[in-house]
Amino acid sequence: METQTGVWLLAALLNVSLAEDKYVAVGGNLELRPKPPSAVAISNILWKHNNNLLAEWVKGLINLTYYSTFKGRTTLDITTGRLEIKNMGEADAGQYTVEIDSHAQSLSYDVKMIKEVPEPEVWMRPVSCNGDSEACTLSCDGDTGGAEPVTYSWKEGDGDWKESGQDMKINKTQTDVETFSCKIKNPVSEKESEPENNPFFQRNLPDFELWTKVLGTVIRSLAIVALFVTVVFFCYLNRETVRKLICPCQRGKGDDNAARGGRSPPLPDRD
């Protein structure tokens, strides 16, 4: 008796393990791909939804037929057994099973209808959190009713997403992160929040030594320019003196007359 009970329990566990969860958004499409039992061409297919007929085909006997509310929005591939249903609604949730070549597939599908996740917002707690606080808590907020299961992820600045809980604690040691963003994700959708400013962020400024080097370079450059301008201006004001210093052999007419004592050059002799 105990042996028989153990066999039944094992069979039950195997059945549970072979039920695959499938999540579909309301209004979305469902696609189920069973594995054919052999490489031989399929001769008959029967799909059921909650033990009710959904689609049926038997080669040479029953043309491809769709039942109930699945008419007009269902497609069955008779060569592979793939089933596609469009515009899924709440009533379409439940268990889907298939028989191929008169053999029930061991894998069934537990289809669950869920909503898309909402666009989240990052809330700061306490609301008075600022740079003088010791620590604060960020919360990724959004109405996820009907959208479960959901996961939460956080991103620092432009960094990578890291899956975490709905809340994240920050403190005054995190001064190099400018913003925080969160994301909510479920099997059919994901949405991100707008970045939230970090109250502890401090913009890094160049250190004093770098400022000193930059200032020294600027002052030296200005001094060189000022010296050059001064020299050019002085040479312009004293251009005649500078010319004589550079090339004393070149003298003007006034200099030649002065050398002759102001006398005119002698006239040439006449025959």
Q: Indicate the domain borders of the chain.
A: 2-114, 121-197, 208-258
CB atoms < 10 A from the CB of 21, how many?
A: 10
pTM of structure: 0.64
Q: What is the pLDDT of residue 271?
A: 47
What is the C-alpha separation between 238 and 160, in angstroms, rounded?
A: 69
Low-confidence stretches of the chain (pLDDT < 70) are 1-17, 37, 204-212, 214, 233-237, 239-240, 242-271
Instruction: List, for residues 17-59, the tens digit of each pLDDT value.
Output: 488 999 999 999 999 999 876 778 999 999 999 999 999 999 9
Q: 2-114 and 121-197: same fold?
A: yes
Q: In angstroms, what CA-CA distances link 27 with 18, 87, 115, 190, 203? A: 27, 4, 9, 16, 47
Q: What is the pLDDT of residue 11?
A: 44
Q: What is the pLDDT of residue 258?
A: 46
First-residue to last-residue Cα distance in the chain = 166
Q: What is the pLDDT of residue 204?
A: 67
> Is CATH 2.60.40.10 the right assignment for the domain spanning 121-197?
yes
Q: What is the pLDDT of residue 44?
A: 96
DSSP alpha helix (H) spans, 110-252: 208-237, 239-246
> Is CATH 2.40.50.140 the right assignment for the domain spanning 2-114?
no
List all residues 6 or more positions away from 19 whose beta carbon is below 8 Å from its beta carbon.
Answer: 95, 107, 108, 109, 110
Torsion of CA 14, 150, 83, 95, to 10 degrees: 50
Q: What is the pLDDT of residue 232?
A: 73
Residue 141 φ then ψ, to 5°: -105, 140
